[in-house]
Amino acid sequence: MSGAYLDASALVKLFKPEVESPVLAAALRDHEVWISSEIVAVEAACTARRAGDEEMVRLAEAVVASVTLVPFTAAISDRAARAYSRRLRALDAVHAATALAVADECEAIFAYDDDLSLALRAESAVVLSPGAPV
């Protein structure tokens, strides 16, 4: 099975058109399973509602429904609270900890946040940001 972890910055591009959206969507076709932290449901809903577009809210819900959500467990909380090579915001730390917890199930992690990507690469994770400026 070919799995891909999506942080919020990647998942949002699947319902809110951004420059990288088409390239990301094409790259994700190679992965049978999309995985993310259950917190991404809140992040997606808030992003869609801030846009003030009810159709975007429906699209966000559909995208989240297509993702395998990993519960926010005590182990993930403990790992998220530990130091990373980069100082991370709380939600990025949760995504880092979750991605690392499911690393055996994922060929790649898709993220567009620079600090999160660098922290995960320091943990030997494969992080992709298709379409992002180099």
Residue 134 lies in a domain: no
Rounded Cα distance, 90 and 87, in Å: 9
Between residues 83 and 71, the one the model is more confident about: 71
Structural domain boundaries enclosing 116: 3-128
State residue 15 phi and psi, 5-degree precision.
-125, -15
In the beta sheet, which residues pair with residue 21? Answer: none
- Nearest Cα to 91, choosing from 4, 3, 12, 21? 12
Range in 31-40, 50-59, 72-81, 110-119 with the lowest mean pLDDT: 50-59
Contact 44, 60 (CB under 8 A): yes
Residue 133 lies in a domain: no
CA torsion sign, 37 to 39 to 45 to 49? negative
One-letter amino acid of 9: S
Element (DSSP H or E) covering residue 68: strand 68-70
CATH number of 51's domain:
3.40.50.1010
Give the pLDDT mean for 36-51.
96
Would the pTM of this model clear 0.85, i.e. be above it?
yes
In the beta sheet, which residues pair with residue 3? Answer: 33
Please report which confidence band the pLDDT of residue 80 belongs to, taking 50, 70 and 90 as the band edges: very high
The total of structural domains in the chain comes to: 1
Collapsing DSSP to helix, strand or coil, 24 comes out as helix
Whether residue 134 has pLDDT greater than 90: no
Give the pLDDT mean for 2-23.
96
Please report which confidence band the pLDDT of residue 1 belongs to, taking 50, 70 and 90 as the band edges: low
